[in-house]
Amino acid sequence: MLETVHLAHLPPDLPVYIALFYGVQNIPFLRHQLLASNSEFEYAFIDPSLILSRTHVLAACFRALNDYLCGRLKSRNVHSEIVFALSPNNTILEAFRTFGMQGTTTNLLVIKVPVPVSNTQASTIPQSAPSAAPEQPPSKEAIENHLLSSIQGTPILFNDETLRILCDTIKVRKTYKIPFPPAPPRKKGPARKRGKPDAHAELNDNDPAQRSRLERSILGAMALRGAT
């Protein structure tokens, strides 16, 4: 259920654990734990309807972990930084409203990076503060057991095929301000307004070549955020 991902060019002892849940029934409970800053629920909770592919979310993980290792976190910890890294703009609150867990969320992508607890906020600790011995991060088995006991949903595979089913590409395009693909000419009826999606737009996004172009545009938008 819980997949282990080792990202290239990052320390091998810093894995990323990822789980995907379908039909989650206790979103209000999970949101309460998150808003209460319950350390037992220190995860990146992401709405998979805005995740196009594994590459999409793993790119955000890489950026967040790289910033964590370099002491450049802009948010509270490495998990909130993963959510922020998905955003095409520099507003952290907007990133959580867009990509994070909301009251209407039904499926859930959960990410855990097992960093020492006292180091998750390393970039916000004053240099003069006394250093405390970090708590050892939980094991993969402990994380998996905690997720299974805390999330009332069905674990499903975290792969591109599953994400394709869960992803709403129209929402994704609007979020990243990526134009919709052109629809074929219509023989009859009113012309579609420019930039307005229709059923063909979503169908076109299921084409592998079109989906690959969309993924490149998303990654470009994420990268440009750091340059502004």
The pLDDT tens digits of the residues spanning 99-136 come to 999 999 999 999 999 987 655 554 443 444 455 566 78
Q: Cβ distance 125 to 75 under 8 Å?
A: no
Instruction: Sketch the domain layout of the chain as residue ranges.
Output: 3-163, 169-225
Q: Is the pLDDT of residue 187 over 70?
A: no
Q: What is the DSSP letter of 107?
A: S
The domain made up of 3-163 has a fold known as PF0523-like (3.30.2380)
CA distance 197 to 200: 8
Q: What local confidence, expressed as pLDDT, does residue 136 receive?
A: 82
The three-class DSSP label of residue 20 is: strand
Q: What is the mean pLDDT of the chain?
A: 88
Q: Is the pLDDT of residue 19 over 50?
A: yes
What is the dihedral sign for C-alpha 184, 169, 62, 127?
Answer: positive
CA distance 61 to 99: 14
Q: Cβ distance 26 to 108 under 8 Å?
A: no
Confidence band, pLDDT 50/70/90 cuts, at residue 21: very high
More confident residue, 1 or 108: 108
Residue carrying structure tokens 């240099």: 127
Confidence band, pLDDT 50/70/90 cuts, at residue 78: very high
CA distance 204 to 211: 8
CA distance 198 to 200: 5
Task: State the average pLDDT over residues 37-44.
Answer: 95
Lowest mean pLDDT across 31-45, 50-64, 191-205: 191-205
Confidence band, pLDDT 50/70/90 cuts, at residue 144: very high
Q: What local confidence, expressed as pLDDT, does residue 199 receive?
A: 54
Over its C-alpha atoms, the chain yields an Rg (Å, rounded) of 19
Q: What local confidence, expressed as pLDDT, does residue 28 receive?
A: 97
One-character DSSP codes across 158-212: -SHHHHHHH--HHHHHHHHT-PPPPPPPPSSSPPPPTT---HHHHHHHTSHHHHH
Q: What local confidence, expressed as pLDDT, does residue 184 receive?
A: 64
Which residues partner with 20 through β-bridges?
Answer: 109, 156
